[in-house]
Amino acid sequence: MSRLSGKVAIVTGGARGMGEATVRGLVRDGARVLIADVLDEPGAALAQTLGDSAEFIHMDVTQKSAWDNAVAAARDMGNLQVLVNNAAIVMQKTIMETTEEDFMNIVRINQLGVFLGMQAVFETLKENGGGSIINVSSIDGLQSKNSLTAYSATKWAVRGMTKAAALEMGKYRIRVNSVHPGGIFTAMHGNEFMTQEQADNFYTHHALPRVGLPEEVAAVTVFLAGDEASYSTGSEFIADGGWHAGLVEDALPQL
């Protein structure tokens, strides 16, 4: 029996990038997955390639009614036990360029979306005897960069909400953890405009001097979805090539 067989998962932003890699990883381990995204064409195409193991639903994570529909669709697929709150957008603007509208737009998707998701699945996960919620934050939920005031605010919020929710939901055997990717080669990273080798050049001073791949983060999320992670909750799981540890200093002795 596969490690995730009998479990149904919702993956937001599952049509491409890290979401797609997570969908594929969950299915490989036996889960059935509801791919929830605003991108209809790639989302539906992905579901089709996965056959009976996946379905696609059009969903905007900022809408409470969309969450209700997604939970109902996932319940129809079986035993909903996993939610991956992965959908997000990024915006690179200085604090002075960021308008109130920009700020609230990113908050609605990256932060409110995660909050609504945790609320929407709670009763079902409780009814199903427990489950795992994985909230995708970022390296920018642990530190930040110039131009990321708004994005970083949402990713720190995701990290904080994860801990509060873990404390509230633990007694119902629901675990809630955050995942913190570093630079990962997806559309959000501009993979339509550069090669993987060019992307590697951004990370020459990192412990692992290269860009990360979606599958390398998905593996962490898939681990958290399963019962082997049964004693992990309220925690941060980092997959960033060592970025958060610090940077290699050229001026100092090296191996």
Ligand X SMILES: NC(=O)c1ccc[n+]([C@@H]2O[C@H](COP(=O)([O-])OP(=O)(O)OC[C@H]3O[C@@H](n4cnc5c(N)ncnc54)[C@H](O)[C@@H]3O)[C@@H](O)[C@H]2O)c1
Catalytic residue numbers? Answer: 151
Q: Give CA–CA dist 215/80, Å, rounded.
A: 23
User: Computed from CA positions of residues 180, 152, 162, 87, in that sequence, does the dihedral angle turn out positive or negative?
Assistant: negative
Q: Nearest distance from residue 1's CB to ligand X, in Å?
A: 30
Q: Does 35 bind ligand X (CB under 6 A)?
A: no
Q: Give CA–CA dist 56/191, Å, rounded.
A: 24
Binding piece for ligand X, criterion CB under 6 A, among 27-35, 59-67, 169-177, 199-207:
59-67
Local structure of 231: helix, strand or coil:
coil
Binding piece for ligand X, criterion CB under 6 A, among 13-21, 69-77, 92-100, 122-130:
13-21
Residue in 54, 58, 70, 60 with CA at minimum distance from that of residue 20: 54
Q: Does 12 bind ligand X (CB under 6 A)?
A: yes
State which of residues 111, 128, 132, 138 lies at the interface with ligand X (CB under 6 A).
138
* β-bridge partners, 176: 133
Q: Does 37 bind ligand X (CB under 6 A)?
A: yes
Q: Nearest distance from residue 105's CB to ligand X, in Å?
A: 10
Q: Does 23 bind ligand X (CB under 6 A)?
A: no
Q: In terms of CB distance, is 35 or 125 closer to ligand X?
A: 35
CA 12 to mean position of chain CA atoms: 8
Q: CA angle 88-91-107, nearest 5°?
A: 55
Q: How many CB atoms lie within 10 A of CB 32?
A: 22
Residue in 224, 42, 228 with CA at minimum distance from that of residue 134: 224
Q: Does 45 bind ligand X (CB under 6 A)?
A: no
Question: Binding to ligand X (CB under 6 A): which residues in 161-220?
Answer: 181, 183-184, 186-189
Residue nearest ligand X (C-beta atom): 17
| Residue ranges binding ligand X (CB under 6 A) | 12-13, 15-19, 37-39, 59-62, 86-89, 109, 136, 138-139, 181, 183-184, 186-189
